[in-house]
């Protein structure tokens, strides 16, 4: 989802969340959601020339880079974060130091030279940054910080007072009881149902016609670029792809037509990687050609591998595994969290022809508010709406954070608060019907 900024008197008022970082405070744990992550596994390994555009990266054991990597969101590990030189992290970096002591050896966060850590770094143990810049450091009183002077200083507290992440559960696994016997080997449309193996030898295009559940035995592609087209047929719904075995996409292209997008596609792969050296979901097109996949991918039993020795491998969605995610080279990953569309929901997009308005929430939110209950669940370049609640970012009048938070949650029904910009911004879902009420509180919202 793109970021939208709404202006009033040339100052930002309320804008929509792409991904906004959270300045840590002491005294409570940070409960994360699975849908906060763009990459989440036991281990996440990322090589140079890779870019995580936005979304959090999480690991139960280790987040590790082996070259210059750019992270547009935050990093959360239940054990350790080890970053090579010239890494950029737009969000926070937090490590619990609670697992795999042989990895952490008392230093749960270690960063090489040339670091650009634009928000806070928090660890339950020592922190080492060879050189670069960091906004602020939080660590236990008994731990040691070695590195450049933080812009906002170093804070040392009792370990139990650190705001450390509580890592969420992985997605639930949907059992695959039966698969079909018809293999997919050539260009053509298919409808929801049970199929055998997808075996595309190059230059083929499969069009998935209509939302619903598609069950496959395995996917094994080769040759020139093969394409997957998701045809939403201008109707609400989700594509759910269930694969019993491994998935090898090789050179792949993917697109959506007639509505929809990456947020409404979910792929589960139950293979163990037995046919792909342990990689149950593999995008590795070699030295020529690009590759792309969209949607959320859940791989409970094997590893996920992304690489490209030629041009670029692109994933728009989110990747989850109980094992290892390995982004080996020339990989771009962008965050598009999965949205399950309730059955029978109509996706009605507001008509933004309101023009200029002089209020706090701005013309786009005003138009959404006037559209009211016609909008149930959808996401486009402006909005993320779930069950008539819209995700917004609210700028707070200086010194009014607590009063603003209380008003938003108790009076205006804001819920599912998200990692945000500390005392200046409050982020969460608010009922569309309550948007206009924000205009009456210029004492709290700017």
Domain end, chosen from 281, 307, 335, is at: 335
Q: Yes or no: say if 30 and 94 are a contact pair by the CB < 8 Å rule.
A: yes
Structure tokens at 200: 């595309």
Q: Rounded distance, CA 161 to CA 124, Å?
A: 10
14 against 268, higher pLDDT: 268
pTM (predicted TM-score): 0.76
Return the SS3 of 319: strand
Angle at 182 (CA atoms; ends 204, 289), nearest 5 degrees: 20
The reply to whether 12 and 131 lie within a common domain is: no
The reply to whether 274 and 361 lie within a common domain is: no
Domain end, chosen from 107, 131, 166, is at: 166
**Residue-averaged pLDDT of the chain:** 85
The reply to whether 252 and 375 lie within a common domain is: no
Q: Rounded distance, CA 124 to CA 121, Å?
A: 10
Domain for residue 251, yes or no? yes
Q: Rounded distance, CA 108 to CA 40, Å?
A: 18
Q: Rounded distance, CA 295 to CA 274, Å?
A: 24
Structural domain including 192 reads: 188-335
The reply to whether 269 and 222 lie within a common domain is: yes
The reply to whether 43 and 143 lie within a common domain is: yes
Report how many domains make up the chain.
3
The reply to whether 212 and 319 lie within a common domain is: yes
Using pLDDT thresholds of 50, 70 and 90, give the confidence band for residue 286. confident
Domain for residue 264, yes or no? yes
Q: What share of the chain is helix, strand, coil (3-state, %, to 5)?
A: 10, 40, 50
The reply to whether 15 and 76 lie within a common domain is: no
Q: Rounded distance, CA 236 to CA 342, Å?
A: 9
Residue pLDDT, tens place only, 417-443: 776 656 678 888 888 889 889 989 989
Domain for residue 26, yes or no? no
The reply to whether 156 and 199 lie within a common domain is: no
Domain for residue 345, yes or no? no
Element (H, E) at 140: strand 132-140
The reply to whether 279 and 158 lie within a common domain is: no
Residue pLDDT, tens place only, 28-74: 456 788 988 999 999 999 998 899 998 999 999 999 999 999 999 99
Residue 376, C-beta contacts closer than 8 angstroms, at least 6 positions apart: 342, 345, 346, 347, 348, 385, 387, 388
The reply to whether 378 and 325 lie within a common domain is: no
């Amino acid at each position: 989802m793109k970021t939208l900024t709404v202006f009033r008197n040339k100052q930002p008022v309320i804008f929509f969340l792409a991904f906004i970082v959270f300045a840590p405070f002491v005294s409570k744990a940070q409960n994360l959601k699975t849908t906060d992550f763009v990459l989440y596994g036991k281990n996440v390994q990322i090589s140079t020339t890779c870019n995580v555009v936005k979304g959090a990266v999480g690991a139960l054991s280790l987040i590790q880079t082996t070259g210059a990597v750019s992270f547009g969101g935050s990093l959360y590990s239940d054990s350790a974060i080890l970053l090579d030189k010239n890494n950029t992290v737009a969000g926070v970096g937090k490590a619990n130091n609670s697992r795999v002591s042989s990895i952490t050896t008392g230093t749960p966060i270690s960063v090489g030279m040339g670091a650009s850590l634009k928000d806070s770094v928090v660890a339950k143990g020592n922190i080492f940054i060879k050189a670069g810049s960091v906004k602020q450091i939080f660590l236990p009183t008994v731990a040691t910080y070695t590195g450049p002077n933080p812009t906002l200083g170093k804070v040392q507290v009792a370990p139990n007072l650190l705001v450390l992440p509580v890592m969420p559960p992985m997605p639930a696994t949907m059992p695959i009881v039966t698969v079909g016997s018809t293999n997919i080997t050539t260009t053509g449309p298919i409808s929801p149902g049970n199929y055998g193996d997808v075996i595309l030898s190059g230059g083929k295009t499969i069009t998935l016609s209509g939302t619903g559940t598609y069950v496959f035995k395995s996917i094994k592609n080769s040759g020139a670029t093969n394409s997957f087209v998701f045809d939403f047929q201008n109707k609400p719904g989700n594509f759910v792809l269930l694969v019993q075995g491994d998935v090898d996409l090789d050179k792949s292209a993917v697109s959506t037509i007639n509505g929809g997008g990456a947020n409404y596609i979910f792929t589960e792969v139950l293979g163990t990687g037995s046919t792909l050296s342990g990689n149950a979901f593999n995008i590795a097109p070699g030295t020529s050609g690009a590759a792309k996949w969209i949607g959320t991918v859940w791989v409970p039993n094997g590893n996920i591998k992304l690489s490209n020795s030629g041009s670029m491998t692109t994933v728009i969605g989110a990747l989850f595994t109980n094992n290892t995610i390995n982004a080996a080279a020339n990989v771009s990953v962008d965050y598009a969290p999965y949205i399950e569309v309730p059955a029978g929901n109509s996706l009605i997009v507001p008509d933004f022809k309101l023009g200029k308005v002089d209020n706090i929430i701005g013309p786009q939110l005003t138009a959404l508010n006037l559209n009211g209950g016609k909008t149930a669940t959808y996401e486009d370049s402006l909005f993320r709406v779930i069950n008539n609640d819209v995700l917004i970012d609210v700028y707070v009048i200086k010194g009014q954070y607590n009063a603003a938070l209380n008003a938003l949650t108790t009076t205006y029904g804001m819920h599912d608060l998200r990692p945000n910009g500390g005392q200046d911004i409050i982020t969460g879902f608010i009922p569309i019907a309550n948007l206009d009420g924000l205009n009456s509180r210029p004492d709290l919202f700017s």
